[in-house]
Amino acid sequence: MDKVLKTNADGRPWQWEEDGMIVTRSHARSAPGCHTNCGVLTYVKDGKLVKVEGDPDNPFNNGRLCPRCLALKDVVYSPDRLQQPLVRDGERGENKWKRVSWDEALDLIADKFKKIIEEHGPESIVFQQGTGRDIFAYISRLAYGIGSPNWGHSFLMGNACYLPRINAMMVFSGAANFMDCAQALEDRYDDPQYEIPGCIITWGNNTIATNPDGFYGHWIVDLMQRGAKLINVDPRLNWLSAHAEYWLQLRPGTDAALALGMLNVIINEDLYDHEFVEKWCYGFEELRERVQDYPPSKVAEITWVPEDKIVGAARLFATSKPASIKWGLKVDQNTNGIQNAQAVMALWCITGNVDNPGGMLLGTDMMSEPVPWQSKISDVSILSQEAQDKRLGGKEYPMLSFGFTCTQPNAMVRAIETGEPYPILAGWWQTTNPIACTSTDARRALEVLKKIPFNVVVDLFMTPTAIAIADVVLPTCTIMERNGSSGIAEYYIGAAAITKAIDPLYETKADAQINLELGKRIKPENFAWDSWDDWNATELRGITWEELQSNVYMYNKGFQYKKHEKGLLRSDGQPGFNTPTGKLELYSTLLEAWGLDPLPYYEELSETPISKPQLAKEYPLILTTGVRPWVFFHSEHRMIPRLRRVKPDPQVEIHPDVADQLGIVDGEWVMVENQRGKARFRAKITRGIDPRVVMADHAWWFPERSPEDHGFGPYDCFKSNINLLTRMDTAASGFGADYIGLLCRVRKIEEGE
């Protein structure tokens, strides 16, 4: 630190000079995509980003960074970046564009949208986004501000990423629950209030590599170093399985059965927390009865996990207090999503690990009453009830009203395909790449998107989706080129400042600035801010932007454990939980009211060796997909050479015995196929996977190849696309879709194929 440039009110520097560079303490989020919000130091010289490093004084990442953040500079200065607004100047898919000014582009979009609003109503325009950004609130605000209730998660069928878990938690416990790693306490593990969990379960979550939803995988390691024992539930070996007391290597998609089997052991061996259950849980006797259908011997058959491991793991979890569970995406990614979540939740509820130090933290109602400082993720209040009632899937899937107020993707697809309940005439696709990544049944997704008469894509790069369906493409800037504020370390813990390092390159703009400028053109009264910076400042409640920026991050001071005992969770101020019965609902009165089974259960997925034995003769292997590599965020980063070198090609993991039978050698290109489609991957032969299972990467396209379609879609996005094998479906709840747990076969690629 050669010279301090800026300090906060306590005199702590947040910007200084070092070796001729300006160093700023900030945070990194999106773009490019990211779920987390790491503390970073940005180094800038003469207006140019020199490097990004981890901020050692950040209490959450403690100076650590992943390879994608370390390569941020390569993304910022990538020659592939979109530089100007583009309007289509040929047929869709021809990759012919006219460069236009922002005014021209935004006027064109505003005119189209206004005409649709006048002639058909604002609901005929859908505003859709992918995952993992700190700009959710500004995309939904654009939709709601111009009158459309149709903000949502693009082609993420069954909203199968975190939403099954979030909405389940909201319905069964009235709040979001997440593992307590002392993230809400300023002294972290040393805070006297905190207790180290005796046991942690990581469930369908490779958190060491994925750090999802503001949770840092290394917190698990920190706790293991402090004595916590680990149980890992995963069909493949990863770092966590290798270091676990119990690795429960289950058959993909059988998670609910495993959790029910563990509940059976805990209840029948009388290992549950009687006092907690009596006081705070609803429907325990019904759950006790239900789990009798899942004795460990039967569960072992369903899940392939040996009976003694099911029993041992259940005992370890129930007899360690506190104990906690870090669950992940694989809980959501099949049509059992809600039952999976319900059964796993019951494990922490009946053992009394709720809002206790080292157990499962309860957020307040994270959607409608978020932290005082954070923007509301999906504030529908500016829409009339009549407009809200038009949300696609809202009526059909009442569970959708708990949590994010978003569209139901399967219902959106139906509306586009059939015009029912009303036609969809324009699509706004911001931060999503449906045909290469987001959607199951990728070819159908393309056909569906093509049906929409007018599409706008907002992205950093030209994508297969933009080439195939966009009429206008708008270039956004990276996280290094804009200010922002974001939640820290799971949503309600506090707020983090994002201070821009450099000005936006070329003619790019911050996403929220783009949305603001468009919103102003259509319904100015709902977009009164002067600029994105102005908007950002007014989003912060109780503090100013200058305060947040100079403090870099600030905690929500109101944090308390055991909020249910203190009357802090319910609007009536009474003790208990924000559910219809005021208790944690092991038996859900809401599910019952909606005509769904109120108790957790296991249902065999629709295409497995058990449910479709005939099909399994042809396609004998069970497919799981999408395990995340360090170097890519979904379909991103393939054009960044430093990252691509680490994983140059799409891969499928196969057990050596199966590879031997098929005559496949490590590194060979193979075909993975089923009755719906086929895709090519390089075989990665590993003993870490069960011989009956294969794991294929998702989200592959090839930015180095031709944007024109030579039979495999733009940039060959249909050459190694595992979502040619998946299908569009969802459960009766509207949550969960089969991104995993389907049948397939692997074979050698024939010559000339």
Contact footprint for ligand MGD (CB under 6 A): 30-33, 35, 130-133, 135, 154, 156, 161, 203-207, 209-210, 212, 233-236, 238, 250, 252-253, 255, 328-330, 430-433, 437-438, 458-461, 463, 476, 511, 624-628, 630, 632-636, 698-699, 722-723, 726, 739-740
User: Could you tell me which of 599, 621, 598 has the C-alpha nearest to residue 608?
Assistant: 621
Instruction: Choose the one of Mo ion, ligand MGD, none that binds residue 476, judging by a C-beta under 5 to 8 angstroms depending on kind.
Output: ligand MGD
Q: How far is the CB of 7 from ligand MGD (least distance, A)?
A: 30
Beta strands in 29-129 (DSSP E): 38-45, 48-54, 86-88, 97-99, 125-129
Shortest distance (Å) from residue 224 CB to Mo ion: 25
Per-residue buried b or exposed e for 639-663, using 16+ beta carbons within 10 Å of the residue's own CB: bbeebbeeeeebbbbbbeebbeebe
State in angstroms the smallest separation of the CB of 209 from ligand MGD: 6
Residue 217's binding partner among ligand MGD, Mo ion, none (Cβ under 5 to 8 angstroms by kind) is none
Q: Which does 207 bind (CB under 5 to 8 A by kind): ligand MGD, Mo ion, none?
A: ligand MGD
Q: How many whole angstroms separate alpha carbon 667 and alpha carbon 727? A: 28
CB of 152 to Mo ion, least distance (A): 14
CB of residue 701 vs ligand MGD: minimum separation in angstroms?
9
Nearer to Mo ion, 161 or 664 (CB): 161
Minimum distance from residue 430 beta carbon to ligand MGD (Å): 5
Query: Which of Mo ion, ligand MGD, none lies near 88, with the C-beta cut-off 5 to 8 A by kind?
Result: none
| Helix or strand run (H / E) with residue 513 | helix 511-522
Q: Indicate the Cα dihedral angle 178, 180, 181, 183, nearest 10°.
A: 80
Cβ contacts of 630 within 8 Å, gap of 6 or more? 66, 67, 68, 209, 646
Work out how close the CB of 155 gets to Mo ion at its nearest, in angstroms, rounded to a whole number: 13
Q: Which does 31 bind (CB under 5 to 8 A by kind): ligand MGD, Mo ion, none?
A: ligand MGD
Full 3-state SS string of 160-180? CCCHHHHHHHHHHHCCCEEEC
From the list ligand MGD, Mo ion, none, pick the one residue 203 interacts with, judged by a Cβ distance below 5 to 8 Å according to partner type: ligand MGD
Q: What's the min distance (Å) between Cβ of 427 and ligand MGD?
A: 13
Rounded to whole angstroms, how far apart are CA atoms 411 and 393? 5
- Choose the contact partner of 522 out of ligand MGD, Mo ion, none; CB within 5 to 8 A by kind: none
Q: Which of Mo ion, ligand MGD, none does 463 bind, CB closer than 5 to 8 A by kind?
A: ligand MGD
User: In terms of CB distance, is 252 or 707 closer to ligand MGD?
Assistant: 252
For 750, counting Cβ atoms within 10 Å of its Cβ (0-12 exposed, 13-18 middle, 19+ buried), the class is: exposed
**Among residues 394 and 626, whose Cβ is nearest to Mo ion?**
626
Residue whose CB is less far from ligand MGD, 327 or 561: 327
Tokens of 160: 């199968």
| Residue 233 engages Mo ion in binding (rule: CB under 5 A) | no
Rounded Cα gap, residues 181 and 170, in angstroms: 21
Choice between 627 and 731, CB closer to ligand MGD: 627
Q: Of 154-162, 544-552, 583-591, 716-724, which segment contacts Mo ion by CB under 5 A? A: 154-162
720 contacts 650 by C-beta, under 8 angstroms: yes
Q: Minimal distance in Å, beta carbon 460 to ligand MGD?
A: 4
Q: Is 621 in the site for Mo ion (CB under 5 A)?
A: no
236 binds, among Mo ion, ligand MGD, none (CB under 5 to 8 A by kind): ligand MGD
User: Which of Mo ion, ligand MGD, none is residue 740 near (CB under 5 to 8 Å by kind)?
Assistant: ligand MGD
Minimum CB separation of residue 518 from Mo ion in Å reads 26
3-state helix, strand, coil in the chain (%, to 5): 35, 20, 50
Residue type, 688: G
Q: Which one-letter amino acid corresponds to residue 598?
A: P
- C-beta of 282: minimal distance to ligand MGD in Å? 27
Amino acid present at 158: G
In the complex with ligand MGD, which residue's Cβ is closer, 582 or 626?
626
Is 34 or 456 the residue whose CB approaches Mo ion more closely? 34
374/440 with CB nearer ligand MGD? 440
CB atoms within 10 A of CB 381: 10
- Given ligand MGD, Mo ion, none, residue 173, with its beta carbon under 5 to 8 Å by kind, binds none
Please name the helix (run of DSSP H) or strand (run of DSSP E) that holds residue 15, with its range, or none.
Answer: strand 13-18
- CB closer to ligand MGD, 277 vs 460: 460
d(CA 116, CA 260): 50
Q: Which residues 84-143 are close enough to bind Mo ion by CB under 5 A?
A: 131
Nearer to Mo ion, 159 or 342 (CB): 159
Closer residue to ligand MGD in complex, CB, 133/309: 133
Position of minimal CB gap to Mo ion: 161
Angle (CA) 553-459-132 rounded to 5° is 40
Tokens for 308, please give them.
């003694």
With respect to ligand MGD, which residue has the nearer C-beta, 255 or 365? Answer: 255
Min separation Cβ 633 and Mo ion, Å: 10
Please work out the total of residues on this chain that contact Mo ion, with binding judged by CB under 5 A.
2
Q: Is residue 161 near Mo ion by the rule CB under 5 A?
A: yes
Nearer to ligand MGD, 490 or 585 (CB): 490
> Smallest gap, in angstroms, from Cβ of residue 420 to ligand MGD?
26
Q: Would you call 682 exposed, middle or buried from its count of C-beta atoms within 10 A (0-12, 13-18, 19+)?
A: middle
246-248 and 229-233 as β-strands: parallel, antiparallel, unpaired?
A: parallel
- 698 interacts with, out of ligand MGD, Mo ion, none, CB within 5 to 8 A per kind: ligand MGD
CB of 394 to ligand MGD, least distance (A): 21
Chosen from ligand MGD, Mo ion, none, partner binding at 33 (C-beta under 5 to 8 Å by type): ligand MGD
Q: Which is nearer to Mo ion, 131 or 625 (CB)?
A: 131
Q: How many CA atoms lie within 13 A of 205 on its CB side?
A: 27
In this structure, what token pair is assigned to residue 583? 């208790």
Number of Cβ atoms within 10 Å of the Cβ of 700: 26
Which stretch in 49-57, 158-166, 284-292, 615-623 sits in contact with Mo ion by CB under 5 A?
158-166
Shortest separation between residue 505's beta carbon and ligand MGD, angstroms: 14
Alpha-carbon 591 to chain mean position: 24
What is the three-state SS of 516-562?
HHHHHHHCHHHCCCCCHHHHHHHHCCCCCHHHHHHHCEEECCCCCCC
Which partner from the list Mo ion, ligand MGD, none does 582 bind, CB cut-off 5 to 8 Å by kind?
Answer: none
- Minimum Å gap between C-beta 172 and ligand MGD is 19
Which of 340/405 has CB closer to ligand MGD?
A: 340
- As a whole number of angstroms, the distance between CA 170 and CA 122 comes to 29
The position carrying tokens 């859709």 is: 128
Q: From the list Mo ion, ligand MGD, none, which binds 734 (C-beta under 5 to 8 Å, kind-based)?
A: none
What are the beta bridge partners of residue 97? Answer: 88
Torsion of CA 34, 35, 37, 43, to 10 degrees: -10
Q: Which of 509-534 are b and which e, b meaning 16 or more Cβ less than 10 Å from the residue's Cβ? A: bbbbbbbbbbbbbbbeeebebeebbe
Q: How many other C-beta atoms lie within 10 A of the C-beta of residue 405?
A: 23
Which of ligand MGD, Mo ion, none does residue 61 bind to, with CB < 5 to 8 Å depending on kind? none
Site for Mo ion, rule CB under 5 A: 131, 161
